[in-house]
Amino acid sequence: MQRLEWNGSEWRIDGSANDAAVLVPLLDADAQFVGVRAAAPSTRYLENGRSRSSFSIVFQTAGDSVAVRGTR
């Protein structure tokens, strides 16, 4: 993770991973996270000869009052 941001209603995380495509389904499967979605397309690149991909993901946590109101 390279960046973590809270705007008052949702979290955004940006970074890179070996397989960023698995992150959204993984977070979405956890009941602690609500409204999980990709905020930007993933980009693949090589880092020191290893394949990596970027990610930008937005979500709310189940305990956030905004997230709870949005699910009713």
Map out the domains of the chain as residue ranges.
Answer: 3-70
Instruction: Tell me what pLDDT residue 67 has.
Output: 47
Q: Is the pLDDT score of 71 beyond 50?
A: no
Q: What is the mean pLDDT of residues 5-13?
A: 96
pTM of this structure:
0.80
The rounded distance, in Å, linking the Cα atoms of 72 and 64 is 13
Residue 68's pLDDT band, with cuts at 50, 70 and 90, is very low
Could you give the CA distance from residue 51 to residue 35 in angstroms, rounded to a whole number?
Answer: 28
pLDDT at 64: 67
Amino acid at 63: G
In this prediction, residues 19-28 reach a mean pLDDT of 95
Position 27 scores a pLDDT of: 96
